[in-house]
Amino acid sequence: MITLGWTWATSFAAKMYRKDTQLPIVTMRSLFHNVVVVASLAGLAQSSVMAQKSPAYSFIQKISLPGDGKWDYLKMDGERERLFVSHFDRVHVIDLATSKPIGDITGLHGVHGIALAKALKKGYISNGTDSTVTVFDYNTFRVLKTINVPGKKPDAILFDKYANRIFAFCNGDKVAIAIDAKTDEVVGKVEVGEAPEFAVTTDDGLVYVNLEDSNEVVAFDPKTLTVKHKFSLGTGVQPTGLAMDAATNRLFSVCRKSKTLVVLDAATGKIVQTVPIGGGVDAVVFDKERKLVMTSNGEGTVTIMHQDSPDTYSVVQTLPTKPGQKTLVHRGTTHRIYLSGADLQADGKTPVAGTFGVYVYGPAANE
């Protein structure tokens, strides 16, 4: 920043000096000195603003959890301070007040995502291996029902308040399955397109979902189950994670092949900015208070960006994590992020037995 100020100062001073002005040399030196001082202060001010943006995230703790096998989505319930962690054949439930596990939902088959219908005191889990959705009691964690879904490999799952429905997005198919949250019966499906991934809801009439194979974001009406919009993200980008800033109506789609965050206007689909991020990305979150977009990259980093304006984003930190930590959730009250994972063997893929857990990262307490 100071270098930019110096360049501007010298250019300005040079323009001020012309042969026809015949300024005394002392006056010229004074003018040049004053311009440089102002420019330097401006540069320092800009540097200070950038420093204030920087969240200075770092590792806080690991919450160790039993069992081995693959992991996927996490689900945050900030109101009751609970964290739900998918883990192969079970979902762990952690009390965030104590950072201790308080229960497990077991007997699952290739678990992927978790959705919560808290007003109905129920939760839902997508099982990719046997194409089912498990319904559980939110208070006791007891399994209430297993729903067979007419689609292959349900992956992402969410609850939409507007329609009072659960949507299971079948990554091995082209559909999102709609489930009535009161009756727990399948009531329809949406033909969204190839390989749906992460999804978000506005809770007022639209659900957005990334399409991994066709490189698009699709928006549909959760009541009529009709597609309203299709927005292109480019060619060969492979979108995975999706988040939204409702206040500015911006979508944040992270793309694994292109290693980019694509920011879209949710109303028009216009791409307003593309930001480079780390490799192996799977998820993205938005901290609306601090205006931070954070992406979990399987290579072992989190890319943290500041929302300077609805259409301008700047990288403020690349946080080292651990290879394989590719999904995350955000806790609004503490601004902490939670990533699941395990130590990996020499092949970089196989988990080391007994090392699974949730890794917590966040800003310093006084920031």
The residue that leads in pLDDT, 52 or 230, is: 230
- Is 90 exceeded by the pLDDT of residue 20? no
What confidence tier does 364 reach under pLDDT thresholds 50, 70, 90?
Answer: confident
- Is 50 exceeded by the pLDDT of residue 4? no
Q: Residues 198-208: what's their mean pLDDT?
A: 97
- Is 80 exceeded by the pLDDT of residue 39? no
- Is 70 exceeded by the pLDDT of residue 5? no
pLDDT at 1: 39
- Is 60 exceeded by the pLDDT of residue 3? no
- Is 50 exceeded by the pLDDT of residue 14? no
When the pLDDT of each residue in the chain is averaged and rounded to a whole number, the result is 89
pLDDT tens for each residue of 303-344:
999 999 999 999 999 999 999 999 999 999 999 999 999 999
pLDDT tens for each residue of 265-282:
999 999 999 999 999 999
What confidence tier does 347 reach under pLDDT thresholds 50, 70, 90?
Answer: very high
What confidence tier does 214 reach under pLDDT thresholds 50, 70, 90?
Answer: very high
3-state secondary structure the chain: CHHHHHHHHHHHHHHHCCCCCCCCHHHHHHHHHHHHHHHHHHHHHHHHHHHHHCCCCEEEEEEECCCCCCEEEEEEECCCCEEEEEECCEEEEEECCCCEEEEEEECCCCEEEEEEEHHHCEEEEEECCCCEEEEEECCCCCEEEEEECCCCCEEEEEEECCCCEEEEEECCCCEEEEEECCCCCEEEEEECCCCEEEEEECCCCCEEEEECCCCEEEEECCCCCCEEEEEECCCCCCEEEEEEECCCCEEEEEECCCCEEEEEECCCCCEEEEEECCCCEEEEEEECCCCEEEEEECCCEEEEEEEEECCEEEEEEEEECCCCCCCEEEECCCCEEEEEECCECCCCCCECCCCCEEEEEECCCCC
Give the lowest-confidence range in 16-25, 120-129, 233-242, 261-270: 16-25
Percent of the chain residues topping a pLDDT of 70 = 84
Percent of the chain residues topping a pLDDT of 90 = 83
pLDDT tens for each residue of 71-114:
999 999 999 999 999 999 999 999 999 999 999 999 999 999 99
